[in-house]
């Protein structure tokens, strides 16, 4: 299919994010796997940024971002599913040269 | 019917948008078609801008826009159905020369 | 009945609007008439402005305005029913010389 | 009963308003009386201003004001019932020399 | 009991108010007593100010104030019950020399 | 147990408050004890300030404060239970030299 | 497993916090253990800060923080569970040299 000429741009501080599957299971401190149905705190998720609006100050394409996956806008592009975030809703980022790293790694 | 002399103008940052039918079906990563009844994240939709108010800064007539189709105002003009959006509710645009493209195409 | 001397003035950005009956029926793209009971997007309505407060910047008496008819204030004057709107809630206007027309006509 | 020396003053932009009975009945355009039980738009009411706070800019004692009678504060003074409004909630006024009349009369 | 040395001061724009019993009964214009159970507009109440914070601009100790008695904070001091109000929630005052009287008296 | 070296500091305008037991019972003006189950106005409570953040302007350690005990954050320190308040939620204070006393004493 | 190169950084005023287990049981003043099911005030919790965004003014890595554990975002990193807080939601801190200590120790 010839490349459509309509290139996508994010507006304001919006981010186009590809969710990264979460291998970790919830275990209580006693090691028991906690099924998701148990309403604990909100489980945050990591995703990779594939596009950022001109209003995004701290996050750039290629960064991993930590966000609340519930109630986010979702769009399908060329068979891939993406989530749309606002930069202000991003809790943390992970990349190879953070400005102020925590010493913790993804 | 003689052309009515009352020409329409959008106010403030409002956009008159013609929804573009969404051919993609929701598939789980295992390829299963996910019926819309399953409450996932909000499915965003694309539409084409047919009018923009003087307050619209980033979006112009002819652009494609990505928006949340739920609970939007709708109007019928000359047999065609349009949705009314505010520019601030637009997540992304697509056109032939975006200011900061994502490298992804519609 | 002798003309009462109490002339009405709208306050702030409020508009006195005479709703214009909506002849269009909702048809699905396949042409089926969609009864109003089906909860679709909010159907907007057109009305004619019969009075505007000093705070109204873009709308003037005689303009047609596009608005959401649900939950608006209503008043009866000399047997006619009017709706009270705020200019900020008006989506679009239609008149003979709009500042930035869409090329679409009522 | 000797005149009590405690004179009442409205604060900020508050108005003391005597509701004016509404003779008009709701009729559908086909002339049928629409009982109030039918949940239509909010029926606004007229009242006469008997007191205005120093913060009231556009409304003065003696003006008629158009307001939403639901959920307003009510007080009884010397056997008369009044409603307390804020000027910002007043839709329209009617008096003998409005600054920008609509040409419609009460 | 020896006078405790802890004197009370109201903070910000808060008022310490002693509710004044309301002798008036609600009567419909036809004179029928309307029981309080009938959900009418909110019945406002008068009270006397016994203390005012430094942030109170228009109200002073000794003034009568008109307020909405529902959902207010209440405190008992030396066997007397008081209500705590914020000046911004006071609709009207009554005293012997109001700045802009309504000509109506308590 | 050796004194832990981690000393506590309140942040912003937060206050660490030790609730003071309330000996007063609610009596109707006819003297009947009103059980707490009867939903009256919100009963406020007094407490003593044991710590104040740098953002607290009017309240200092040692003051008594009047506050709404419902839905406050609670913490246990060395076997004592404290409530955490924000200064803006404090209605009144009581101490030996208030800036603007009401003449009423705790 | 080779150290991943993606180092984590908190954004804005967000804090990465490791909850500290709470040994204290709720006892009524009469010494009875109060089960958590009894809906009292919100029980706050202590945690240790493992990362702070550039927007955090008062809290730094290593501080203990007092916060409301309900409805917080949670993330698992290298088998450890953390909570994400905003500095503005932190009630108090504890460290060895607070700017304005309360004289109370953790």
Instruction: Report phi then psi at B87, rounded to 5.
Output: -55, -35
* Complex prediction ipTM: 0.83
Contact B94, B104 (CB under 8 A): no
Torsion angle of C-alpha atoms G42, G46, G51, G54, degrees rounded to 10: 60
Assign E27 a pLDDT band (cuts: 50, 70, 90). Answer: low
Quick check: D29 pLDDT over 60?
A: no
Quick check: G80 pLDDT over 80?
A: yes
Of residues G28 and A41, the one with the higher pLDDT is A41
Most E CBs within 10 Å, among F100, F101, F103, to test the E interface: F100
Assign G61 a pLDDT band (cuts: 50, 70, 90). Answer: very high
Q: Is D74's Cβ below 8 Å from some Cβ in E?
A: yes
Q: Which residues of chain F have pLDDT under 70?
A: 1-4, 22-40
Residue A22's Cα: distance from chain center in Å?
11
Interface contact D44-C75, CB threshold 8 A? yes
Task: Measure the CA–CA gap between C83 and C19, rounded to whole angstroms.
Answer: 7
Quick check: B56 pLDDT over 90?
A: yes
Interface contact B77-C103, CB threshold 8 A? no
Task: Measure the CA–CA gap between E100 and F2, rounded to whole angstroms.
Answer: 67
What secondary structure letter does DSSP report for B103?
A: S
Out of A23-37, D82-96, E24-38, the most confident range is: D82-96
In this complex, whether F and D touch, counting 3 or more CB pairs under 8 angstroms, is no
Quick check: B37 pLDDT over 90?
A: no
Nearest beta carbon to residue B102 from set A5, A51, A69: A51
Nearest beta carbon to residue A50 from set B40, B43, B102: B102
Quick check: G67 pLDDT over 90?
A: yes
The minimum CA-CA distance between B17 and chain C, rounded to whole Å, is: 11
For residue G50, list chain A residues with Cβ-Cβ distance below 8 A.
Answer: 102, 104
Interface contact C7-D90, CB threshold 8 A? no
Q: Is F83's Cβ below 8 Å from some Cβ in G?
A: yes
Q: What would the mean pLDDT of A63-72 be, rounded to a whole number?
A: 94
* DSSP-derived 3-state class of residue B87: helix
The minimum CA-CA distance between E43 and chain F, rounded to whole Å, is: 15
> Which residues does C42 contact at the CB level (< 8 Å), separation at least 6?
B71, B72, B73, B74, C68, C70
**What's the confidence (pLDDT) of residue C1?**
47
**What's the confidence (pLDDT) of residue B42?**
86
Q: Is E20's Cβ below 8 Å from some Cβ in F?
A: no
In this complex, whether B and A touch, counting 3 or more CB pairs under 8 angstroms, is yes
> Which residues does G61 contact at the CB level (< 8 Å), separation at least 6?
A102, G49, G50, G51, G52
Q: Is D48's Cβ below 8 Å from some Cβ in E?
A: no
For residue E106, list chain D residues with Cβ-Cβ distance below 8 A.
Answer: 4, 6-8, 77
Interface contact A9-B93, CB threshold 8 A? yes
For residue G59, list chain A residues with Cβ-Cβ distance below 8 A.
Answer: none
Contact B81, B50 (CB under 8 A): no
Task: Measure the CA–CA gap between C28 and B76, rounded to whole angstroms.
Answer: 12
The minimum CA-CA distance between B33 and chain C, rounded to whole Å, is: 24
Interface contact A90-G11, CB threshold 8 A? yes
Q: Is F7's Cβ below 8 Å from some Cβ in E?
A: no
DSSP string, chain A: -PPPS-EEEE-TTEEEEEEPP--PPPB-TT--B--TTS--SEEPEEEEEEEE-TT-SS--TT-EEEE--TT-EEEEETTEEEEEEEGGG--EEEESS-TT--S-B-
**What's the confidence (pLDDT) of residue G12?**
96
Task: Measure the CA–CA gap between D66 and D19, rounded to whole angstroms.
Answer: 10
Task: Measure the CA–CA gap between G10 and G16, rounded to whole angstroms.
Answer: 7
Q: Which CATH number is correct for C8-20+43-96, 2.30.33.40, 2.60.40.150, 3.30.1490.20, 2.40.50.140? A: 2.30.33.40
**What's the confidence (pLDDT) of residue C42?**
86
Give the chain G residue nearest A63 (alpha carbons). G6
Q: Is C54's Cβ below 8 Å from some Cβ in D?
A: yes
Interface contact B94-A6, CB threshold 8 A? yes
**What's the confidence (pLDDT) of residue E13?**
96
Interface contact B76-C24, CB threshold 8 A? yes
Quick check: E92 pLDDT over 90?
A: yes
Most E CBs within 10 Å, among D3, D4, D8, D15, to test the E interface: D8
Q: Is E7's Cβ below 8 Å from some Cβ in F?
A: yes
Q: Is F54's Cβ below 8 Å from some Cβ in G?
A: yes
**What's the confidence (pLDDT) of residue F22?**
65
Q: Which CATH number is correct for B9-20+43-97, 2.30.33.40, 3.20.19.10, 3.40.50.700, 1.10.150.120? A: 2.30.33.40
Q: Are strands F42-43 and E73-77 parallel, antiparallel or unpaired?
A: parallel
Q: What would the mean pLDDT of A71-92 be, rounded to a whole number?
A: 95
Assign A30 a pLDDT band (cuts: 50, 70, 90). Answer: low
Interface contact G94-F6, CB threshold 8 A? yes
Tokens 């995004």 label which residue? A56
Interface contact F64-E4, CB threshold 8 A? no
Quick check: D70 pLDDT over 60?
A: yes
Contact C17, C47 (CB under 8 A): yes
Six-digit token pair at B15?
């956009």
pLDDT tens column, C56-77: 999 999 999 999 999 899 999 9
Give the chain C residue nearest B73 (alpha carbons). C42
Q: Is D57's Cβ below 8 Å from some Cβ in C?
A: no
Closest to F46 in 3D by CA, of F92, F105, F101: F92
Assign B1 a pLDDT band (cuts: 50, 70, 90). Answer: very low
Nearest beta carbon to residue F41 from set E6, E16, E74: E74
Task: Measure the CA–CA gap between B48 and B60, rounded to whole angstroms.
Answer: 10
Six-digit token pair at D36?
């109030």
For residue C60, list chain D residues with Cβ-Cβ distance below 8 A.
Answer: none
Quick check: B86 pLDDT over 80?
A: yes
pLDDT tens column, F3-12: 568 999 999 9
* Number of alpha carbons in the 13 Å side-chain half-sphere of residue B22: 18
Most D CBs within 10 Å, among C14, C75, C84, to test the D interface: C75
Task: Enter the CATH code of domain F11-20+42-96.
Answer: 2.30.33.40
Assign E101 a pLDDT band (cuts: 50, 70, 90). Answer: very high
Quick check: G19 pLDDT over 80?
A: yes
DSSP string, G78-91: TTEEEEEEEGGG--
Closest to E11 in 3D by CA, of B55, C3, F87: F87
For residue A104, list chain G residues with Cβ-Cβ distance below 8 A.
Answer: 7-8, 16, 50-51, 77-78
Assign G1 a pLDDT band (cuts: 50, 70, 90). Answer: very low
Of residues G34 and F45, the one with the higher pLDDT is F45
Q: Is A36's Cβ below 8 Å from some Cβ in G?
A: no
Most D CBs within 10 Å, among C7, C60, C84, to test the D interface: C7
Quick check: D75 pLDDT over 50?
A: yes
> Which residues does D51 contact at the CB level (< 8 Å), separation at least 6?
D8, D9, D10, D15, D16, D61, E92, E102, E103, E104
Percent of chain F with pLDDT over 90: 71
Q: Is E39's Cβ below 8 Å from some Cβ in D?
A: no
Of residues C92 and F24, the one with the higher pLDDT is C92
Interface contact E7-F92, CB threshold 8 A? no
Give the chain B residue nearest C24 (alpha carbons). B76
> Which residues does G2 contact at the CB level (< 8 Å), separation at least 6?
none
What residues does each domain of chain C span? 8-20+43-96
Task: Enter the CATH code of domain G14-20+41-94.
Answer: 2.30.33.40
Q: What would the mean pLDDT of C26-31 be, rounded to a whole number?
A: 53
Assign A4 a pLDDT band (cuts: 50, 70, 90). Answer: low
Q: Is G104's Cβ below 8 Å from some Cβ in F?
A: yes
Q: Is B54's Cβ below 8 Å from some Cβ in C?
A: yes
For residue D90, list chain C residues with Cβ-Cβ distance below 8 A.
Answer: 11
Give the chain C residue nearest B5 (alpha carbons). C96
Interface partners of chain F (CB pairs < 8 Å, 3 or more) are: E, G
Closest to E106 in 3D by CA, of E95, E97, E98: E95
């Amino acid at each position: 299919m010839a490349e459509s000429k309509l290139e996508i741009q994010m507006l304001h501080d919006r981010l186009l994010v590809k969710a990264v599957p979460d291998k970790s299971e919830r275990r209580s401190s006693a090691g028991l796997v906690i099924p998701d149905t148990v309403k604990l705190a909100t489980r945050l998720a990591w995703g990779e940024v594939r596009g950022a609006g001109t209003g995004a100050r701290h996050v750039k394409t290629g960064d991993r971002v930590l966000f609340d996956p519930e109630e986010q806008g979702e769009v399908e592009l060329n068979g891939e599913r993406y989530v749309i975030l606002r930069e202000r809703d991003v809790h943390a980022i992970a990349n190879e040269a953070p400005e102020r790293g925590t010493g913790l790694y993804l």
